[in-house]
Structure 1
Amino acid sequence: MRQYIGLIHKEAHSDFGVSFPDFPGAITAGIDLDDARRMAEEALALHIDGLIEDGEALPEPSTLEQVMNNEQNRSAVAILVAVRTEPRQSVRINITLPKDILTEIDAFAAAHGYTRSGFLAQAAKKAINSEAA
């Protein structure tokens, strides 16, 4: 199981954001530190699943020293995020959505470093987890 570094950032009047130096564009957020850590695990797993599904290679994890040598990262809290790198079994489905919603999904996914499938999976998991809480 690989571990990648996640960086937790906090701006005034915002949630706790999490970014991943080894995966530019993969970001998430949580309402508190524990939520940010949970969301980091989910977001990174989904991002990696999308890369594997697309046939892309995973980067080797950066060391903490490499990440913290970048001055922009020094104001963040570094956490280790463990992910399994074997692909989960994917199932192809056919769904129907209004065209304007699909356009919004695709734009959001592209702007945030997700595949369409990865974004929909994360959104579904977030909705399920919020109902379970």
Structure 2
Amino acid sequence: MQHYIAFVHGEPGAYGISFPDFPGCISAGGTVEEAVSQGIEALHLHLEGMVEDGTPVPAPSAVEAIRANPEFAEELDGAVVTLVPVVTPAGKPLRINVSLDEALVAQIDKAAELAGVTRSGFLADAARRALRVA
């Protein structure tokens, strides 16, 4: 799992989040926590798009390098700097064998069907969500 730098700025009721390693990838929320949560989702979607387009995903910048870069001086002013955990999508499926309780598999299959996705897709999405908050 990698961690990318995020800038959170704003005031109560209106917070924004941006990622210096991914210009244009921004989000917002009414609270700092909501902005970070929405930012994680935005960054994940941004990374998925990069992988689908064949665009290389940059390695995370070091906090010290961002702080020393005059290009980010304005964004850093008054911002909270945080690290956001990301599992970079690899774009290549890998078949695995797992053992789950039969009743749980039935519930997963029903939920996947309702969501219009496969069992694998459902489990992958659930794992991504769990890893984003870890």
TM normalised by structure 2 equals 0.60
The whole-number CA distance in structure 2 between the counterparts of 1:88 and 1:59 is 15
Pairing of 1:95-110 with structure 2 (within 5 A): none
Residue 74 of structure 1: aligned partner: 77
Aligned twin of 1:44? 43
Tell whether the 8 Å contact from 2:9 to 2:17 is kept in structure 1 after alignment: yes
Structure 1 regions of 5+ residues with no counterpart?
A: 90-133
Compute the RMSD of aligned alpha carbons. Answer: 2.1
Shift of 1:23: 0.3
How many angstroms does 1:88 deviate by? 6.4
Question: Which letter maps to 1:7?
Answer: F
Output one character per residue of 1:29-79: Cα deviation in whole Å (capped at 9) or x when no partner: 011011011111111101000000111000111111111224222321111
Contact 1:4/1:82 (8 A) holds in 2 = yes
After TM superposition, the runs of 4+ consecutive aligned structure 1 residues lying more than 4 A away are none
Map of 2:21 onto structure 1: 22
* Offset at residue 86 of structure 1 (A): 2.2
Structure-2 residue corresponding to 1:112:
none
Query: How many equivalent pairs are there?
Result: 89
Of 80-89 and 18-27, more deviation after overlay is shown by: 80-89
Aligned to 1:6: 6
CA–CA separation in structure 2 for the residues paired with 1:39 and 1:88 = 23
Counterparts of 2:18 and 2:91, CA distance in 1: 23
One-letter amino acid of the counterpart of residue 75, structure 1: G
Given that residues 2 and 83 in structure 1 are in contact (C-alpha distance below 8 angstroms), is that contact kept between their aligned partners in structure 2? yes
- Give the aligned partner of residue 125 of structure 2: none
Gaps of 5+ in 2: 93-134
Q: Give TM-score scaled by structure 1 length.
A: 0.60
Question: What's the offset of the Cα at 1:14?
Answer: 6.2
Aligned-partner Cα distance in 2 for 1:63–1:75: 19
After superposition, residues 107-126 of structure 1 pair within 5 angstroms as none
Distance (Å, rounded) in 1 between the aligned partners of 2:81 and 2:22: 15
